[in-house]
Amino acid sequence: QDLAVRLTDDNDPFFLYNLVISEEDFQSLKSQQGLLVDFSAFPQKFIDLLQQCIQEQNKDIPRFLLQLVSSASVLDHTPVSLNVVETNPFKHLTHLSLKFLPGNDAEIKKFLASRLKCLKEDKTMLEEKLRKIEEDLTRQLSYTQQSLSDKSRELDKLKSEWTSYTAALTSKHTQELTNEKERALQAQAQYQQQHEQQKKELENLHQKSIQQLQNRLSELEVINKDLTERRYKGDSTVRELKAKLSGVEDECQRAKQEVLSLRRENTTLDAECHEKEKLINQLQTRVAVLEQEIKDKDQLVVRTKEVLDATQEQKVILEESTEKKQSHIEKLESTIKSLSAELLKANEIIKKLQGDLKTLMSKLKLKNTVTIQQEKLLAEKEEKLQKEQRELQEMGQSLRTKEQEVCKLHEQLETTVQKLEESKQLLKTNENVITWLNKQLNETQMAKKTEPSAGTHGGRTAISPHGMPDRPSFPSSAISHTISPLYAYQGFPEAAHKQHVNSHCPIQFNTQLSKMTGCSDVQTVAATGHPANKENGDNLGLDSKYFKKKDDSIPLRGLSQNTLNSEYLKPYLSTKAQPSPKATATPASAYFPG
């Protein structure tokens, strides 16, 4: 077994180096480079080293490197050594070093031939894959077209359902809107009645409360005036009583002082009486002697007794007056206490009345605020009612616009349906005309093959080198195209009928410029057909409605621009109709070859 290693370059096809290692060569290589791998495991290990070099090539400091070292230039075809080097911070270690020989011309040719063969095989494989992909794509395209047609049908069905649904919805919504309008009008009338009733009730309540408050205010003002007058009167009476009290207190103090002085005098008089009684007792013994003195002293005693009686009477009077004054003082004190209690009660009543006044004022303020708020609420409700009326008007206008839009959509639908039906009829007529024209062309070709090559139209038409009669032109008739033999036969109907019993029907094409689409609608006019065909009853694929006579020709309308632009008619549409107010006749040969 030998191990073959080849070095190539995709950019340079002439770069080729080969190495063939046998088991004996591997043993010498193993002993030289100190390898620890057998010959059977060497290829895999070599591949692992190359993969490590590939993995490390994108790094900044690769660990494994592949070095291709040559002693001379590459063009000299000298042997080259391939080294697998491991780099570390200390040293570059060469794990393996293999010498490759450059390939000669025969080897390079063989290598290039093998590469070409591989590329051709790849090309064929890719072409087969591409063909299969194209087939799959065409199948998918056909499937998608079928699905698209199905979807378009479904879309048409959905559109029709949607139109019916929208019509039902519009009718339903119109009914609901009428019902809602009636309900809104009823609710508006009810709200207006309720609003007017509430307004009247609130105005009555407000007037009643204002009258009650005014009456209460007048009453309170009268009570307040009475209380203030009473207060002033009580203050004046209290002042007078205080002044009287001060005077009575002064008199009482004076009476007390007098009573004290009289008591002192009484005590002195009592002492004097005792002393005099003693003197009397002492002097009784001296009565006889001192009768004169006794008489004098009797007079003095009588006088003193009178004085004592007077003093006693005065004493009794003073005691009675003091008692009266004390009772009067007590009465005054009781009256003062009652007046002070009444004053306190009056103050409390005044305070209560002031508090009631404050509460009434606060209630008045609250009622004023409530009335203001109610007026604001009334204004807001009126604004809301106006907004609702405006919204109702806007809804009515939007309903009218929507109804107009619905009518417009219905008209558009009807026009589109009519256009669809017309287009379907046109398509049917176009298909019938195309089939009929194909049959006519086939019959004319067969008739031309059977006819002799010489022309027999009385010398009026020359024979072309292809066996076809020349196409005469009519410059004075505003026809810019050459006229086919069909048109020539139409110009000479008697001769054509005599000489060619089996001739074809004359065909005339009229082109008109359409203002709306800008495309030219082609109008075909065909003859009634051959008498033989009439006898046989053959309509050549067309319905009987297309064979009504009109100036010995049948107008076949409906060939659109799309049918004229078909693959069959494209090479024959090079001619153009000159713009003129009248329709120009285009020969059949301009669209169908002889």
* pLDDT tens track for 131-164: 999 999 999 999 999 999 999 999 999 999 999 9
Please give the C-alpha separations between residue 444 and each of 441, 499, 505, 508, 566, in angstroms, as whole numbers. Answer: 5, 15, 9, 16, 22
- pLDDT tens track for 398-419: 888 888 888 888 888 888 888 9
What is the model's pLDDT at position 334? 84
Least confident window among 12-26, 159-173, 182-196: 12-26
CB 523 within 8 A of CB 510: yes
Compute the chain's Rg from CA coordinates: 74
Residue 432 has pLDDT above 80, yes or no: yes
Look at residues 133, 131, 74, 128 and name the one whose alpha carbon lies nearest to residue 102. Answer: 74
Distance CA 174, CA 409 (A): 17
Pull the structure tokens for residue 119.
């590329």
Polymer length in residues for the chain: 594
- pLDDT tens track for 556-594: 444 444 444 444 444 444 433 344 433 344 444 444 443
**213-246 in b/e burial notation, b at 16+ Cβ within 10 A?**
eeeeeeeeeeeeeeeeeeeeeeeeeeeebeeeee
Q: Residue 128, Cα to own-chain centre: how many angstroms?
A: 53
Helix, strand, coil share of the chain (percent; to 5): 70, 10, 20
For the chain, what are the domain ranges? 3-103
- Comparison of pLDDT for 553 and 441, the residue scoring more: 441
Residue 332 has pLDDT above 60, yes or no: yes
Distance CA 189, CA 135 (A): 76
Neighbours of 587 (CB within 10 A): 23
pLDDT-derived band of residue 452, with 50, 70 and 90 as boundaries? low
Residue 188 has pLDDT above 80, yes or no: yes
Neighbours of 555 (CB within 10 A): 15
- Enter the pTM of the model: 0.27
Q: Domain 3-103: which CATH class?
A: mainly beta
At 82 the three-state DSSP class reads: strand
Mean pLDDT estimate for the chain: 76
What is the model's pLDDT at position 406? 87
Residue 485 has pLDDT above 60, yes or no: no
Distance CA 225, CA 217 (A): 12
What is the model's pLDDT at position 150? 92
- pLDDT tens track for 333-348: 888 888 888 888 888 8
Please give the C-alpha separations between residue 538 and each of 440, 542, 550, in angstroms, as whole numbers. Answer: 12, 9, 20
At 452 the three-state DSSP class reads: coil
Question: What ranges make up the beta strands (E) of 103-181?
Answer: none
What is the model's pLDDT at position 120? 93
Residue 307 has pLDDT above 60, yes or no: yes
Name 135's bridge partners.
none
Residue 500 has pLDDT above 90, yes or no: no
String of DSSP letters for 344-410: HHHHHHHHHHHHHHHHHHHHHHHHHHHHHHHHHHHHHHHHHHHHHHHHHHHHHHHHHHHHHHHHHHH
